[in-house]
Structure 1
Amino acid sequence: MDKNDLIHDISKDGVDRRGFLKCMAWTGTGLVWSINGGILSSAVFGANSAAAATAELNFVQISDTHVGFNKPANQNVLGTFQETVKRINTLPKTPDFILHTGDLTHLAADEQFDTVDQVLKGAKASQVFYVPGEHDILNDKGAQYLQRFGKGTQGNGWYSFDQKGVHFIGLVNVFNDTEGGMGILGADQLDWLKKDLAGLATSTPIVVFAHIPLWEVYAQWGWGTTDGAQALALLKRFGSVTVLNGHIHQAMQKIEGNMTFHTARSTAFPQPAPGSAPKPGPMVVPAEQLRGMLGLTRVSYVETDSHLAIVDSTLA
């Protein structure tokens, strides 16, 4: 094994719902997810993934593009966003769709939403599914986001859809008036989720995506959802549940029972690890490292052991 390979089997970590496993702080700008026989695996852009070539379903997760941001952490977020789309377009197999897990824009301005739309029209994937981040609902409580990206959704933008035997659920947890506060789903959305799941067999693979983590990563920074546990309780009866989110701008993995949790890094700028700074926010790294700190994350779900086997390797 190469000395740059890191293997971590988190089935032996005993991480509880309030814990987390930080796998890689900076491993790239997006993830390719593959589903084969109901089992999900992932690889960071640039990885040679044989699984993706034969998978029943491939999709890409991107997050926190923050179009309109222009500060020292990254003065060209549009450039790194466009680079991400170029990487999507050079994948050996075109993904079935893209999931964008929020903070499309930095200030929810008209021209910023326009830019996001135009850049993603250049992706070869046939469809993009969105959920809003807190930056996408500034000033107008999400009215413009819903008009542009939320057609056909319920409430503040939640919805579900099916792809090749997998049930996808987009949840919205950013409507909290407290700055820096925890995410909130609310009673109406939880009631909708209960009804949405009611008719599904327990063998149905479930993928849930939201902006703020449904699990409590770091409450002091609002990195969690106050009523997330209620949503997770509704999902416990299913044999395979994958929960994807953004918001914290770094890759973290956790598993609890039948549930796999994964947070994606941003295409715009990193944030500090939980508790490593006085507060969260854009973190400045050397310019030569912003694009160069790319890596590989492969995640395999082993049904018989109910755990994740994670293999990280750098692209250096």
Structure 2
Amino acid sequence: MNGHGGHSGHGGQVQEQGVGEHGMTRRQLMRHAGWFGGAVVLSVVGGEVISQVAHGHDSPAAATADDPHTLRFVQVSDSHIGFQGPANTDVVGSFEHALGTINSLGNRPDFVMHTGDLTHLSTPAQFDQVKQMLSTARTDRVFVVPGEHDSVGDGGKAYRQTFGANTSGDGWYSFDTHGVHFLALVNTLSLEKLGHLGTEQIDFVRKDLAAVKSDTPVVVFSHIPLFAMYPKWGWSTDDALQVINMLRRFSSVTCLNGHVHQLFTKTEGNITFHSATTTAYPLPRPGTAPAPTPQVLPAGRLKDALGIRSVTYHEGDHALAVKEERLA
């Protein structure tokens, strides 16, 4: 079985556990271009995050492929196991395809992070199925955070029974590896307030970050975006600014989320936000539909909208290489 959870000496302990548009600026265009075959390299220069596209052997990922000081991890999101509908008639098959894509990467990732909506209806059988499927990923550890579909009707109780051992509060935690500090947050339990972290979790983050040096790269995982991507649809976290303000002292911060089922990147000073795509079904772009409902694509086009994200970091470089891998 892979290990879920991690360990941190900051604000609480988490131990190993078993789970088995037109008008773009040039920089925006470069960032978007990286979604289609290149890697978006995020470099911190003079405290500012600079984006550039790297291809093949020009990327840090390629240059450090055999270096033991290189961290490699994969983000997968929104598998929605249990979903039934014309947008994807086989979410199990597409999630299996995503896991196969992970297992066929050139390097074994140090861990895999699932950023929520593991299931569609939060049933024990669905959680067990996801747990078993994640155990097939060729990696040392698997981490997860919950989505709102993982807390249907029970406030996340069934999710925490399967995945929450040795986490804090409603399932948040932190860990360190390869010189990077990771925060895994839960912002899906108060959806009447859109995404919401809550006082207890914000206090956890404050205590956790107090012991982390400012030159340490920080990566934050959450399901719902920590920035106001489209609040009308709940694509926002109402109290995230309190956490964002705590992160401003760090030279390099990367926030990775799911929920929106599409790629989107936003940079604010030292903090870059990356929304991930899904392994289940696409959602419309903000404002292009009355509501974020599953989109039915033409025959043979679904896998073009599905994918995983691989991330590479070379210890001491303050650089992250983020590459999208489509399932097509």
Q: Give, in angstroms, the shift of residue 8 of structure 1.
A: 5.0
CA deviations on 1:162-213 (whole Å, 9 max, x unpaired) are 01110000010001152xx510001111111000000111000100000000
Letter paired with 2:263: A
* Letter matched to residue 91 of structure 1: L
Alpha-carbon distance, 1:292 to partner: 3.9
In the alignment, structure 1 residue 175 sits paired with structure 2 residue 189 = yes
Aligned to 2:4: none
Number of the residue aligned with 1:261: 273
Q: Is 1:273 matched up with 2:285?
A: yes
Amino acid across the alignment from 1:72? P
The TM-score with structure 2 as length reference comes to: 0.78
CA contact (8 A) 2:187 2:224 kept: yes
Structure 1 residues 234 and 254: alpha-carbon distance in aligned structure 2, compared to 1, 3 A threshold? same
Q: Verify: 1:105 aligned to 2:105, yes or no.
A: no
Instruction: Provide closer, same or farther for how the CA distance between residues 7 and 51 of structure 1 changes in structure 2, counting only shifts above 3 A.
Output: farther
Matched residue of 2:301: which SS? helix
Q: Is 1:219–2:231 an aligned residue pair?
A: yes
Match for 2:292: what amino acid? Answer: P
Deviation at 1:296, TM superposition (A): 10
Alignment partner of 2:71 out of 34, 40, 57: 57
> What SS does the corresponding residue of 1:57 show, helix, strand or coil?
strand
Match of 1:245 among 239, 254, 257: 257
Quick one: which amino acid aligns to residue 139 of structure 2? Answer: A
Q: State the partner residue of 1:116.
A: 130
Name the stretch that deviates more: 142-151 or 76-85: 142-151
Assess if the C-alpha contact under 8 Å between 2:196 and 2:238 holds in 1: yes
Match of 2:27 in 1: 9
TM-score when scaled to structure 1? 0.80
Structure 1 counterpart of 2:160:
146
Q: 2:100 aligns to what SS in structure 1?
A: helix
**1:255–1:70: structure 2 CA closer, same or farther, 3 Å change rule?**
same
- 1:285 aligned residue: 297
The equivalent position to 2:200 in structure 1, one of 144, 169, 188, is: 188
CA distance in 2, matches of 1:222, 1:159: 23
Residues 1:232 and 2:244 aligned together: yes
Aligned pair count reads: 290
d(CA) in 1 for partners of 2:98 and 2:108? 14
Would you identify which runs of 4 or more consecutive aligned residues in structure 1 move more than 6 Å? 31-44, 294-301, 306-316
Task: Write the deviation string for residues 250-273 of structure 1: whole angstroms up to 9, x where unpaired.
Answer: 000011111110000010000000
Partner in structure 2 of residue 70 of structure 1: 84
Which letter does structure 1 place at the counterpart of 2:207? K
Partner of residue 18, structure 2: none
Deviation digits for residues 260-290 of structure 1, max 9, x if unmatched? 1000001000000000001111111112101
Alignment of 1:29-68 (within 5 A): 50-51=62-63, 53-54=65-66, 56-68=70-82
Task: Please give the per-residue CA displacement for 1:45-96, whole angstroms capped at 9, x wherever unaligned.
Answer: xxx9525624610000000000000101001010000000001111110000
Q: How far did 1:299 drift?
A: 8.9
Q: Is the 8 A contact 2:227 2:236 kept in 1?
A: yes
Displacement of 1:32 in angstroms is: 9.4
Cα RMSD of the aligned pairs, angstroms, is 3.9
Say if 1:27 and 1:76 are closer, same or farther in 2 by CA, change over 3 A. farther
In the superposition, relative to structure 1, how do residues 43 and 163 fare at CA in structure 2: closer, same or farther (>3 Å)?
A: farther
1:53 aligned counterpart, secondary structure: coil
Shift of 1:293: 5.1
Unaligned runs of 5+ in 1: 1-5, 13-20
- Going from structure 1 to structure 2, the CA distance change for 1:315 and 1:271 (only over 3 Å counts) comes to closer
Question: SS in structure 1 opposite 2:161?
Answer: helix
